[in-house]
Structure 1
Amino acid sequence: MFVLVRHAHAGEKKSWHGPDADRPLSTLGYWQARGLVAALDGIELRALFTSPTTRCRQTLLPLAEARGMRIDDHPLLAVDAPTDQLLAVLEAPETDGVVFCTHGEVLDTLAEPARAQAAVWVPPAASTAKGGAWIVDRSDGPTPTLHYIAPTPPD
């Protein structure tokens, strides 16, 4: 079982005047990040990985603080990273108990080749609200079970 998170709300790209990698969460995004703590309560976690962007790191920060865990940047979660390599990481058994925070664009680029390989567990961004998460559970056989966690408050 692992958790795939789309970063929480970070406002409009057009309104941000700095580098996009530095764009922070909005007020709504901060609340959504806090909501993730309660949503994942009771789920055993062993690692938190994030795209090397401020908004992804901030999405996992309340969870890291609540669990006493550190957040590690993972370059394959960035928007321009090689999709096939990230898909291989996500399909590895070592992902059990790991939370991955990434971008809607990454979810979209993962969904197409994953479906072509019959890995239908990768949800496109259209089905994942900002701040939303998917629990991907592979314990019941070759086809993972998906459980969607809607953001609180909603986007």
Structure 2
Amino acid sequence: MNDERVIADLHERWVFGWDRREGDEPFDFRRVFGEFYDFGSPDVRLYDDFDPEHRVATSAAAYGEIWTPAFQEMISAHHAVDDGPHVLVSGDLAASTLRFVARIATPDGVTDIRTTTSLVWRRTPDGWRIVREHNSTQSLPSGEFDGRFGEDRQDSGPVSAG
């Protein structure tokens, strides 16, 4: 498999790592994403504007600390790739971009989102790992994706604007 296909496959699998189903075991960022992020690099910069505090993590472990509380409280998260991935590879660096849609159910309600994600990957002895991440998210009207994910409405909680 060529590097472009490897990165495309990794990016798609990364998206679905964020999926949660009611009854899943507790969220463990390193267990779920250990094969994707470079946990040892000092060059890591990870940002997602869906984080209410808009923090920039300078390590994969710190990024996990941002998301673990929210994902442990979450009822469910269903994702689908909407566009991409689009991949460029040059030597030991690669960039990939894709757009995904998601329905996130929390005890407070349901939020539908569309996110454009851009990842920079570095080839390491252990394979390609994420060293840069930028996600831009748009919250959409409630119910925008009704029926898209085939989710059971019983695990979705009350519907509210996100």
TM-score for both structures, normalised by structure 2: 0.25
Identify the structure with the greater helix proportion: 1
Decide which structure has the larger Cα Rg and report it: 2
The answer to which structure, 1 or 2, has the higher relative contact order (CA under 8 A, 6+ apart) is 1
TM-score for both structures, normalised by structure 1: 0.26
